[in-house]
């Protein structure tokens, strides 16, 4: 079942290349693949990922793209695990950004997804914050459910109380709303001018 799933996201040639990288012996390659899959899926589950199979597929996609550059590695399993850590970190960054965008847009998680432009603008505006403010607002808004409760509780202990943290987070959030709104307006204006310039040149 796992083999069929991974073959849907890779070409047969790429999947075969991954197996040959694991071992020149066909049977051993399959055993190695199954071992790698179990190890990485357990890793993603331990990290609390909602879809560990999807992240495993992404990991293999990346590894296949780098096989020609990583010949002679001491351990294929260790190499795959290193790539998996980076995939998990990227997934966490994306999830935090989406969660923050929904917060700033006052959207419920199931109401509508953040647009790519909203995500881009929010990432830009957050990157402009001083490091301390960036860390605070990311921890305060960048999670859901129990994880969010625990993050805010930890912040309250570090920053002299929940009220102080809430006030600071609200001030930063207000500044970010203004920044994101301006960013979206600039993007919309640029698209408008681009369309009209294209029409004139046509």
**What is the percentage of the chain residues whose pLDDT exceeds 90?**
4
Q: Lowest-pLDDT range, 30-34, 104-108, 118-122, 169-173?
A: 104-108
**Model's pTM, two decimal places?**
0.48
Long-range CB pairs of 61-68, under 8 A, 24+ apart, other chains included: 61/9, 61/10, 62/86, 62/87, 63/18, 63/21, 64/10, 64/14, 64/15, 64/17, 64/18, 67/17, 67/18, 67/21
Q: Lowest-pLDDT range, 132-136, 147-151, 172-176?
A: 147-151
Angle of helix 52-66 relative to helix 26-46, nearest 10 degrees, comes to 130
Residue 137 has pLDDT above 70, yes or no: yes
Give the mean pLDDT of 32-49.
87
Residue 126 has pLDDT above 60, yes or no: yes
The pLDDT of residue 156 is: 82
Listed in sequence order, the residues at least 6 apart from 16 whose beta carbon sits closer than 8 Å to its beta carbon are none
């Amino acid at each position: 079942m796992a083999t069929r799933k991974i073959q849907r996201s890779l070409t047969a040639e790429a999947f075969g290349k991954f197996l040959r990288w694991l071992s020149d012996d066909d049977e051993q390659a399959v055993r190695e693949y199954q071992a790698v899959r179990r190890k990485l899926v357990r890793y993603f589950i331990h990290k609390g990922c909602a879809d560990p199979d999807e992240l495993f597929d992404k990991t293999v996609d990346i590894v296949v793209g780098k096989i020609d550059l990583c010949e002679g590695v001491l351990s294929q399993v260790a190499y795959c695990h290193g790539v998996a850590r980076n995939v998990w970190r990227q997934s966490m960054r994306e999830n935090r950004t989406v969660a923050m965008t929904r917060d700033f847009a006052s959207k419920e998680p199931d109401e509508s997804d953040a647009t790519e432009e909203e995500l881009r603008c929010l990432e830009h505006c957050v990157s402009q914050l001083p490091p301390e403010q960036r860390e605070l607002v990311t921890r305060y808004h960048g999670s859901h459910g129990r994880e969010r409760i625990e993050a805010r509780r930890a912040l309250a202990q570090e920053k002299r109380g929940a009220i102080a943290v809430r006030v600071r987070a609200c001030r930063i959030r207000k500044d970010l709303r203004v920044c994101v709104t301006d960013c979206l307006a600039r993007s919309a204006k640029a698209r408008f001018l681009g369309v009209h310039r294209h029409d004139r040149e046509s």
